[in-house]
Amino acid sequence: MAMKQPHVVIFPFPLQGHMKPLLCLAELLCHAGLHVTYVNTHQTHERLANLQALSTHFPTLHFESISDGFPDDHPRTMNLEFFITFKKSIRPHFRELLKTISLKAESNDALVPPPSCIMTDGLVTFAFDVAEELGLPILSYNVPCPRYLWTCLCLPKLIEDGQLPFQDDDMTVEITGVPGMEGLLYRQDLPGFCLVKEADHPALQFFMNETQILKRASALILDTVYELDAPFLSHMALIFPKIYTLGPLHSLLNSQIGDVSRGLASHGSLWKSDLNCMTWLDSQSSRSVIYVSFGTLVHLTRDQVIEFWYGLVNSGHPFLWVMRSDTTSGGPQIPAELESGTKERGYIVNWVSQEEVLTHKSVGGFLTHSGWNSTLESIVSGLPMICWPNLGDHHIVCRTVCQKWKIGLQLNENCDRSNIESMIRTLMGPKREEIQSSMDAVSKLARDSVAKGGSSHNNLEQLIEYIRNLRDHN
């Protein structure tokens, strides 16, 4: 019976925010009995925590790693040159791995069938060429906010309409021509590669072409709730043959495998969580703590670190702040009043299990970079947000959160301590009831979607059936 199950090869882009949701999806497919090979680069594979525990719980989940084509000491800085080179350098290694997996499956004693399809995220476009060369269907999982993907798919039209490149430096001008995003998209919300003076700029052309490649996918998988994003999903359905909304993925996994998912949540992380912070949270009053995390990619200047620190201390609220070792270059000189204020009501950690923190009874608000994974986790936990967007899809997520859904407040880009203090006091005080009411409604939509009969629950069943049919037609 196991030999008849499909075999999905999943390859995320080697960043924590891309790897985690695709690992959730891998676990969901394995829970349904499918075989999954989850592929990492050597560098990320070596850092992942306790993969053996995942393989033990999901016997059909297999891990492989390949070279990304760079020397070990390469900095792997996420710039245009890296993306272009990465796409070329890793392709032959991925092709070779797929051939090896297929050859192993042909042996008489093989326990794992040959690949039925490939599933990658939107930054792993080189896999499309490999999949088509080997005659395998490819499914694309989109990591950023779906509204961001839709905006990027519409960039050629924005160029055609003369809205890109910008004719002046006024970043408050509304962008029109992206159906479903009326009143919710402005120049300042577009990704950094749009901030160029020429339509043929290499960065704009590269990322725009990368997005267009996704149209070749057999199906598109989105980490969102259909009911939240229906207005523009109908437009995307005209481009993609099949769309499956499975969000919030981490919540869908929790609903499928129960409490055991909490114990597995930290596995597959590139950072080790500080468990002592949970004891500190236990000692705080209900809904009193502001949790602060800017994800894995955002870097702060030393001045910004100090401004946030003063804002947190001066707010008078207890705070738990995730400050990665690489958050800023060099350690800022810490004024004595910050050190004493932190000892009195703060806790700073290098990394935490965010899902656990957000669901803790003492946490009352989330100061976030507006990454899509973090936003979904906050929605499931019913926590109002203070948004400080930085890059990629953050600005579109922030505007949706603050203006469309009204479940958060936006912090000024040029943050200063008084503004940060004021925002925290507002979120945790006079605005709390109003924002919490909106959040409760959005959170219920998300939780209902992953329950039996919900849109995401049903879409997962349909996706699994679709993959099984792919196997039958191969």
Neighbouring C-alpha atoms within 13 Å toward the C-beta of 459: 24
pLDDT at 264: 57
pLDDT band at 328 (very low <50, low <70, confident <90, very high): confident
Average pLDDT over residues 197-210: 93
Is 369 considered catalytic here? no
Helix (H, G, I), strand (E, B) or coil at 176: coil
- The one catalytic residue in 7, 35, 121, 223 is 121
Give the residue ranges of DSSP H helices in 32-74. Answer: 42-47, 51-57
pLDDT digits (tens, 9 = 90+) for 99-139: 999 888 887 666 788 999 999 998 889 999 999 999 999 99
What is the residue-averaged pLDDT of the chain? Answer: 89
pLDDT at 226: 96
pLDDT band at 223 (very low <50, low <70, confident <90, very high): very high
The label of the residue with tokens 């009204």 reads 406
Count other C-beta atoms under 10 Å from residue 212's C-beta: 15
Give the class (CATH, top level) of 2-148+199-267+450-473.
Answer: alpha beta
Residues 103, 449: Cα–Cα separation, whole Å: 40
Is 18 considered catalytic here? yes
pLDDT digits (tens, 9 = 90+) for 252-290: 999 998 765 555 555 556 667 778 889 999 999 999 999
Residues 287, 280: Cα–Cα separation, whole Å: 14
Count other C-beta atoms under 10 Å from residue 421's C-beta: 19
- The one catalytic residue in 7, 18, 31, 369 is 18
Query: 248: cis peptide before it, omega within 30°?
Result: yes
Query: Cα-atom radius of gyration of the chain, to the nearest Å?
Result: 22
User: How many residues can be counted in the chain?
Assistant: 474
pLDDT digits (tens, 9 = 90+) for 64-75: 999 988 888 888
* pTM metric for this prediction: 0.92
> DSSP letter string over 353-409?
-HHHHHTSTTEEEEEE---HHHHHHHHHHT--EEE---STTHHHHHHIIIIIS--EE
Residues 136, 81: Cα–Cα separation, whole Å: 29
All structural domains of the chain with their residue ranges? 2-148+199-267+450-473, 276-447
pLDDT at 39: 94
Which amino acid is located at 161 in the chain?
D
β-partners of residue 291 are 320, 366
Query: Residues with Cβ < 8 Å from 26, sequence gap 6 or more?
Result: 8, 10, 36, 38, 58, 61
pLDDT at 294: 92
The CATH number that domain 276-447 falls under is 3.40.50.2000
Is residue 112 left, alpha or beta, with left meaning phi > 0 and alpha meaning psi from -120 to 50? Answer: beta
Query: Residues with Cβ < 8 Å from 29, sequence gap 6 or more?
Result: 8, 36, 464, 467
The label of the residue with tokens 């207890």 reads 318
pLDDT at 270: 64
Higher pLDDT, 423 or 177: 423
